[in-house]
Chain A
Amino acid sequence: MTQTESMISPDQIIRRGIAVVTGAGTGLGRPLSVELAAKGMFVVGLGRHEESLQETASLIGPEQFSFKVVDVAEPSQVITVFEGIAAEFGPVTVLVNNAAVYPRRDFLDETPESFMQSVNVNLGGVVACTYAVLGHMTMTGVGRILNVATFADIAPMPASSAYSVSKGAARILTRSLVADLSDRFPEIVISDWMPGALDTRMGISDGLDPKMSARWGAELALWHDPSLTGSIFERDREVLPPRSLKRRMLDKVLLRKGPAPRSLGQAPEA
């Protein structure tokens, strides 16, 4: 059946709602908030420090940005804050799980407590924020969750154990959410995005300009195509899962091409 004018499309539902960016006061979170606002979204930034959130606010303006001070590692705080956001601004339709900590520490210099504190932010924060927005998203069946991720789990660097473990676990969380939700709620689109090595406090000094990266992230966060669920984008380009030898041979036999990675259309070339 054809779509008609009286039907609100999922895309419209997404854009009429609120975008939440965690870690919006620092690093990539700030330009991500700016770019999402530039694309017409009302953004609520979450962060631990009011001053840095204020600074983000000053770049956007109150008609498109507000913020809440919260530690995403504290689930009960997170739930309360999201209830407040929904009551004050309306339903959250876009969530960018960006907040993360990267303590450079040798494992021998960690304590179990310090290690788990990183896990509580990098994994626990994603769990809590995702949980908080899914209540409404599963009622309407529509939403977009973009998890800012890294390949740190593939070959952990020295002095990065808590970061590698927790960010790796967050990627598994994305896949678990896909397993639990994608068949039931195909229009709640959940995927991972690796922004690349950035020139932020957490990244490296000769990395990518976070502003450029944020443009891709914002575009991806507003790209609401059910087939994106479970996908991984690195910078502006999709990273396809490895295809088995059998499958590649089959492609050859059947004279067909494997799937082509997608890229972010409007984003400037890297």
Chain B
Amino acid sequence: MIGELANKDWDVIVIGTGMGGGTVGRRLAEKGLSVLFLERGPNGPRAEQQTLDAEMHDPMARTVRGYWPKPMHAKINGRNSEFFGPVGAGVGGTSVFYAAALERPERHDLDHSADRPHPTGGWPVGYDQFQPYYERAEKLFHVSGQPDPLSTERDPLLADPASLTAGEQALMQSLRENGLNPYQGHMGVRRKPGCKMCLGFKCPRACKMDGRSAGVEPALKTGKAALIDKCVVQNLHANGRRITNVEAVREGVSLGFRARVVVLAAGALSSPRLLLASTSEQQPQGCANENGLVGKNLMFHLNEVFALWPKKREADDIATKAIVFRDHYYANNRRYGVVQAMGIDASYGEIVYFLNNIFDRSILRHVKPLRALTRFPAMAAVRMFGNAKIFTGILEDLPYESNRVLLDENDRDVLRFQYDFKPELLQRRREFRKLIRRSLRGHRHAFLGLQPELNFGHPCGTLKFGADPKTSVLDANCRAHGVENLYVADSSFMPTSFGVNPSLTIAANALRVADRIAADIFNQQPLGS
């Protein structure tokens, strides 16, 4: 059966099935094009409910669960560390584990203006051009929530949010009394009967909307798409300006695939690695890498995690993901980001995990026995925090060429990158924390991290799009400069990282890219026939 798929001439091959790959493939299949998804991880049983467990270290056990099998190798501020990052490798990619936050960015995230100058001079495609795709993505992902009261844009297309519990209402009210403007966050959960709000977990039904439930599965239902899992793409072979063969390995067997268009959607840590690995005489630096920018401009967000105690306890006090505010998104002519509830209470497990993460990147990380000691502050924290809600402020990261994804020549399955905290980021971080602290006056709260915490689940920027082929990897349509049938549909294309989760933007852009590809192919047809 795999052989048949390998022999076929596809309209489109999509590499990676996360938020970007799933969405672009669905759209193309719905337009009647034949689509082949190649996914490196397994298509696990639909009833699975695991979370992304960073404490599970065995590569086989990780593979089976749809986690990236190997630890990340990061050089952060010149120091090497290894840790298991929140990266999925299975049908749906990382998105099956996400917390379903689908927030829009703001106009100044894309557009340059005199009031709010853009750090890159603005995206090649502006907010107004993205708007219809945001709306389409919001419908496709059944996004519910309330409009941001501070927004001056046309309201997003949102389904009614879940009704707030008394505890959530009280917390909203007391934030309002502090002059903040909280709203019910935008989430892609359909709340089907029996919904367990699988935030951070694989949802056993098509209720949480992710790259699998809103992408691959509806694509397969059209009958126009096929999926090959456990298929690791190793090389994109080009002849002149076209990708002619996608070389892959599945369970030890080499395979080759052909398509008119190849869409790379392996994620911002993996898509550039595949291009860097695709070297040949014609392209010694890798595919689409004449200017050497592939893998550069890696961005994450900084997570400013804090515990917030409601002013008074409510009987139905449950972990909430519902509350978001953007009062500090842009202030004093600076870019910060959104503040949102993480949907967890301060429980022992979460805090141990959090502290272990800090430990693994600390100077003490080689003294393994010390790691167990994180349990004690965690226990103390639980007693202290009680029913605190955990919030996180997402701080925008800005692009620097020195922050980059690297190809590990010894082991191409390793996610390797180097990243330095720039002084301006640390400065904005201090300001952001101060703003949050000030705005929470009267509420008991405590920041949980001392060091800056990168959000390794939000990588982006490593194949940025732009108008000028000298300073970007992709053109405004997310097609690779110099490779006419290669498109990118994951977060790699983003020249800046915004102050919100990238998920909705990845989905919206994937829809935009799909339209472009379909137009290309349908225009081509007269020529080909």
Chain A interface residues toward B at CB < 8 A: 1, 3-7, 9, 138-142, 180, 183-187, 250, 254
Q: Quick check: is B78 within 8 A (CB to CB) of the other chain?
A: no
**With a CB–CB cut-off of 8 A, which chain B residues contact A185?**
45, 47-49
Q: Is the CB of B53 within 8 A of A139?
A: no
Report if A183-B51 is in contact (Cβ < 8 Å); known contacts: A1-B196, A6-B193, A141-B204.
yes
Report if A1-B197 is in contact (Cβ < 8 Å); known contacts: A139-B45, A184-B65.
yes
In chain B between 348 and 407, which residues have their CB closer than 8 angstroms to a CB of chain A? Answer: 379, 383
Chain B nearest CB, measured from A169 CB (Å): 21
Q: Is the CB of A186 within 8 A of B49?
A: yes
Q: Is the CB of A1 within 8 A of B191?
A: yes
Nearest-neighbor residue (CB-CB) of A9 within chain B: B194
Chain B nearest CB, measured from A62 CB (Å): 32
Q: A1-B191, A139-B47, A184-B48 are in contact. List 13 more A-B contacts (CB 8 A).
A: A4-B193, A4-B194, A6-B193, A7-B192, A141-B47, A142-B47, A183-B51, A183-B53, A183-B65, A184-B49, A184-B65, A185-B49, A187-B49
Q: How far is the CA of A254 from the CA of B379 in the complex (A)?
A: 10
Q: Is the CB of B47 within 8 A of A140?
A: yes
25 A-B contact pairs sorted by A residue (CB < 8 Å)? A1-B162, A1-B191, A1-B194, A3-B194, A4-B193, A4-B194, A5-B193, A7-B193, A7-B194, A9-B194, A139-B45, A140-B47, A141-B45, A141-B46, A141-B47, A183-B50, A183-B51, A183-B65, A184-B45, A184-B48, A184-B49, A184-B202, A185-B45, A250-B379, A254-B383
Q: State the main secondary structure of chain A at its contact with B.
A: loop
Nearest-neighbor residue (CB-CB) of B45 within chain A: A138
Q: Quick check: is B195 within 8 A (CB to CB) of the other chain?
A: yes
Interface string of B181-215 (1 = CB under 8 A from A): 00000000001111111000010100000000000
Q: How far is the CA of A186 from the CA of B47 in the complex (A)?
A: 10
Q: How far is the CA of A71 from the CA of B428 in the complex (A)?
A: 70
Chain B nearest CB, measured from A91 CB (Å): 13
Chain B interface residues toward A at CB < 8 A: 44-51, 53, 61, 65, 162, 191-197, 202, 204, 379, 383
Q: How far is the CA of A4 from the CA of B192 in the complex (A)?
A: 9
**With a CB–CB cut-off of 8 A, which chain A residues contact B53?**
183
**With a CB–CB cut-off of 8 A, which chain A residues contact B379?**
250
Q: How far is the CA of A103 from the CA of B47 in the complex (A)?
A: 41
**With a CB–CB cut-off of 8 A, which chain B residues contact A5?**
193
**With a CB–CB cut-off of 8 A, which chain A residues contact B162?**
1
For A1, A9, A254, the residue with the greatest tally of chain B CB atoms inside 10 Å of its CB is A1
Q: Is the CB of B46 within 8 A of A139?
A: yes
Chain B nearest CB, measured from A92 CB (Å): 15
**Which of B44, B193, B202 makes the CB contact (< 8 A) with A3?**
B193
Q: How far is the CA of A160 from the CA of B510 in the complex (A)?
A: 65
For A7, A184, A187, the residue with the greatest tally of chain B CB atoms inside 10 Å of its CB is A184
Q: How far is the CA of A30 from the CA of B301 in the complex (A)?
A: 62
Report if A141-B48 is in contact (Cβ < 8 Å); known contacts: A1-B162, A183-B53, A184-B65.
yes
**With a CB–CB cut-off of 8 A, which chain B residues contact A139?**
45-47
For A6, A9, A183, A185, the residue with the greatest tally of chain B CB atoms inside 10 Å of its CB is A183
Q: How far is the CA of A241 from the CA of B285 in the complex (A)?
A: 58
Nearest-neighbor residue (CB-CB) of B46 within chain A: A139
Q: How far is the CA of A142 from the CA of B194 in the complex (A)?
A: 14
Q: How far is the CA of A4 from the CA of B193 in the complex (A)?
A: 6
**With a CB–CB cut-off of 8 A, which chain A residues contact B193?**
3-7
Q: How far is the CA of A3 from the CA of B44 in the complex (A)?
A: 26
The 5 closest A-B pairs by CB, nearest first: A141-B47, A7-B194, A7-B193, A1-B195, A4-B193
Q: How far is the CA of A193 from the CA of B202 in the complex (A)?
A: 31
Q: How far is the CA of A186 from the CA of B193 in the complex (A)?
A: 19
Q: How far is the CA of A266 from the CA of B140 in the complex (A)?
A: 49
Chain A nearest CB, measured from B166 CB (Å): 15
Chain A nearest CB, measured from B504 CB (Å): 22
Q: How far is the CA of A3 from the CA of B197 in the complex (A)?
A: 12
